[in-house]
Structure 1
Amino acid sequence: MKLAFSTNAYLKFSFAEATSRLAGLGYEGIEIMADVPHAWPAYILPEQIQSLKDNLTKNRLQISNINSFMMHAISDPRQLYWYPSWIEMDSNYRQVRITHTKRALTLAKALGAKCITTEPGGPVEKGQSWQSALKLFIEMIKPVAEHAEKEGVLLLVEPEPELLIETADQFEEFMKHIDSPAIGLNFDIGHSYCVSDDPATTVERLAKYLKHVHLEDIAATRKHHHLVPGEGVIDFKPVIQSLKKIGYDGWVTIELYPYVENPDTAAKTAREKILPMM
């Protein structure tokens, strides 16, 4: 396994500065935000893509993942991360999410990234049943899965509290309707803990889908608020042991977006806590 850090904690820094800082802290990999200010796919130019590559090479960093979950650039007043969603009632607004995801897949191919992550449908709208929302999500994601296959990039769905797919049970139900080899799981350890799934046993349960891992700590309340490892109550040792047991040798990306005021300290502390376990 290899350890990376997400640039969603470095939204107040340029990509060049973020890569320099993370390399200085000893990280091997980096998760790139397909968003402002780092790599918004809607208007990124070829020379900007080359600049991203040059900064990665200069700092000897590999890409763990392209994060297309968050869409700060849209600045939806309801919530900056979740909207527009795959299951918006407004089909035109829903298309914004679909187009963004396709562009992120194409960007990932251009950068040589193996995968991108996306939200698990989105918040279930008032008047929607869970089953009807799931049906809509499946309908919307299937053509994007075809685009992912064409680009040779994995499209990883990330279960999240308060969204359509929260639990392992729900993710398995979703995957019953998916036959694309491009669709997989971004397993977020903290999210799993939030919804009262046991992260260690869930890793083994969902092993055949698991292609990338997010890591953060969570308080005993199980409130969905990302904390630096050691500030919450998750025991990461059995989770990492489960990852080793299933033969996972990919990236574990630490995701600490609430720490935008002091990302260096968060990244340094997290690495010191997690790396010895790996």
Structure 2
Amino acid sequence: MKIANVSWGWTPIPEDTPHGDSLIKIADQIRELGFEAVDYLGTPEALDVFFNEKSSTELGEHSRKIGLEPNVFVFQDAVWNNPDEAVRADSLKHFEKAAQTAKWIGCKIVSALVPMPFGATPWTFNPMAPSLKQSYRLPADYCFQKDWDLLIDSYKKALAIAKKYGLRMSIECFPHSMISTPHAMLKVLEDVGDDDFGIQLDTNHLIDQHIDPEWTIYVLGGKRIFNVHCKDNDSISRGNIPAGCGICDYTAVIQALKNVGYQGNLAVELEFTDNPRRYNKQALEHLKLCVAGEY
């Protein structure tokens, strides 16, 4: 079970378009800390202006040369359930660019995001408010089944693209999205119906919803979890904190993954931090102890 790091955790804004040798420098810093694998990310803009065969191949070759195994390439877009066919078609076009980029880099998985219900107006967190009334503010004619069917159809088309490039496809299930709970994850796996389609599990997203990650692992099973993001959450005020700084029991999580036969990585993901070296090192050291059964 390799411990990986995500490249987008080293930029002020994780969706920043890379330029020049920025990702090469990030890979060097990740490897210097002792990580063995790496995940990369591309927005539609980045796929249009930065990732080409030359830049992607060089990035993959450099990663492997320094001892970093590229694993996941994340496609940073979430319009899969947009009723506008042209919007969905453009997303699939960029997803194919992401799959091609993943292939050039040498990744094994191309990952996509789960959207909110279409038409929802998301609530925003107000730290000064004594209480929050949460609602999607959905339009009166909202139809869940239509929304769900569009989502599944888009994922099936994206999966076909991923398989054309010899890749598996995963989805990351954010809180407040259409697929945020273990049972919703089981439903999407059933409806897509392909063993090359799986879940990008994130411990922070689960704890943010007061869902136990260890139990979720047993619900899904090892074969349908393709990658695990290890970022912690204190369940009260903060998420997206280093492993070991919140309430996630990574010793239990790792043991559960072993028990269900999980074959993927543990990927440290920390975003929007002012000191990525410090906090990624902290998370790495904690996970090493947990993997060794010493914590």
TM above 0.5, yes or no, is yes
Identity of aligned residues (%): 23
Specify the alignment match of 2:152 in structure 1.
Answer: 138
Q: Give ranges in structure 2 of 5+ residues lacking alignment.
A: 13-17, 120-137
Asked if residue 20 in structure 1 is aligned to residue 28 in structure 2, the reply is yes
* Equivalent-residue separation in structure 2 for 1:233 and 1:196 (angstroms): 11
Amino acid across the alignment from 1:116: V
**1:248-259 aligned within 5 A:** 248-259=262-273
* Equivalent-residue separation in structure 2 for 1:178 and 1:92 (angstroms): 22
SS state at 1:65 partner: strand
Specify the alignment match of 2:289 in structure 1.
Answer: 276
Specify the alignment match of 2:70 in structure 1.
Answer: 63
* Equivalent-residue separation in structure 2 for 1:146 and 1:66 (angstroms): 16
Contact residue 210 and residue 235 of structure 2 kept, 8 A: no
* Equivalent-residue separation in structure 2 for 1:36 and 1:140 (angstroms): 17
Task: Give how far 1:50 is off.
Answer: 2.5
Task: Give how far 1:191 is off.
Answer: 1.2
**1:225-240 aligned within 5 A:** 225-240=239-254
* Bigger CA radius of gyration: 2
| More divergent stretch after superposition (143-152 vs 90-99) | 90-99
SS state at 1:197 partner: coil
Specify the alignment match of 1:81 in structure 2.
Answer: none
**1:14-163 aligned within 5 A:** 14-35=22-43, 40-43=46-49, 44-68=51-75, 70-71=76-77, 84-125=78-119, 126-127=138-139, 128-163=142-177
Specify the alignment match of 1:267 in structure 2.
Answer: 280
CA shift digits 1:58-102 (9 cap, x unpaired): 32110121121x35xxxxxxxxxxxx5211243333333222222
SS state at 2:266 partner: strand
CA RMSD of aligned residues (A): 2.1
Contact residue 110 and residue 169 of structure 2 kept, 8 A: yes
CA shift in 2, pair 1:183/1:222, >3 Å: farther
* Equivalent-residue separation in structure 2 for 1:175 and 1:53 (angstroms): 30
Amino acid across the alignment from 1:247: G
Structure-2-length-normalised TM-score: 0.82
Q: Give ranges in structure 1 of 5+ residues lacking alignment.
A: 72-83
Contact residue 121 and residue 134 of structure 1 kept, 8 A: no
* Equivalent-residue separation in structure 1 for 2:83 and 2:107 (angstroms): 32
SS state at 1:268 partner: helix
Task: Give how far 1:220 is off.
Answer: 2.0
* Equivalent-residue separation in structure 2 for 1:103 and 1:196 (angstroms): 36
* Equivalent-residue separation in structure 1 for 2:157 and 2:225 (angstroms): 21
